[in-house]
Amino acid sequence: MTTEKDVSNPLVDAYENGKLIAYPTEAVFGLGCAPDNEEAVMSLLKLKNRPIEKGVILLASNYSQLLRYVDDAAIPMDMRTEIFSSWPGPNTWLLPASKQAPRWITGGSKLIAVRVTAHHDARQLCETLNGPIVSTSANVSGEEPARTWQEVTAVFGDSVYCVKGEVGTQQNPTQIRNGLTGEVIRAS
């Protein structure tokens, strides 16, 4: 997905211009956008009929891409090994949000949901974008999530930029755990 500087990359252009992007993840297609683009996130929430209070996940290819959004110093020492040894992988953690983490990402919570993915296409996506991407399942709330790019296209048409690829082998969306307590919020 890398390009030379003088060649436009439609994926990067879509991301930078606030377009919604559908992409394969560990179990389902994700739907996302640039996390700092409030208008794009609000469009995503409207398209999915998802309340802002639920927050969204940030997906990254490495932890350093998340440092702007996470209050790293507030992660308890006794949880750090468990959190960081679970990545890259299908593990989403609720970590202390930094002061820079937008409320449209956190849903107003003091925690932010983050994952460093091991899925090849999703990792490559974040590397190409040089940062994290919002990650929520590609579906209208209450409906089954899309597992193929064809399903994404059938549901959302050209309202999203679709990265064609295959989802991983996970049967269910990733586990979500509280990074302060270790409590499982959503089982995988």
Per-residue pLDDT of the chain (188 residues; tens, 9 = 90+): 554 555 689 999 999 999 999 999 999 999 999 999 999 999 999 999 999 999 999 999 999 999 999 999 999 999 999 999 999 999 999 999 999 999 999 999 999 999 999 999 999 999 999 999 999 999 998 899 999 999 999 999 999 999 999 999 998 888 999 999 999 998 87
Count of other CB atoms within 10 angstroms of residue 73: 7
Asked if the structure places residue 5 within a domain, the reply is: no
Could you tell me if residue 148 is inside a domain?
yes
Length of the chain: 188
How far the first Cα of the chain sits from its last, in Å, is 30
* pTM of the shown model: 0.92
pLDDT value at position 3?
Answer: 45
Q: What residues have CB less than 8 Å from 47, skipping those under 6 apart?
A: 20, 31, 140, 156, 159
Place of tokens 């308890």: 76
2 located within any domain: no
**pLDDT recorded at residue 98:** 98
**Is residue 4 in a domain?**
no
**Can you give the pLDDT at residue 172?**
85
The DSSP element (H or E) to which 30 belongs, if any, is strand 29-32
Assess if residue 1 is contained within a domain: no
Pairing of strands 57-60, 111-116: parallel
153 part of a folded domain = yes
Instruction: Say if 76 falls within a structural domain.
Output: yes
Number of domains in the chain: 1
Whether the CB-CB separation of 34 and 133 falls below 8 Å is answered with yes
Domain span at residue 86 reads 10-186
The one-character DSSP state at 171 is S
Residue 178: partners with Cβ closer than 8 Å, 6 or more residues away: 93, 94, 111, 185
The answer to whether position 3 is within a domain reads no
CATH of the domain at 159: 3.90.870.10
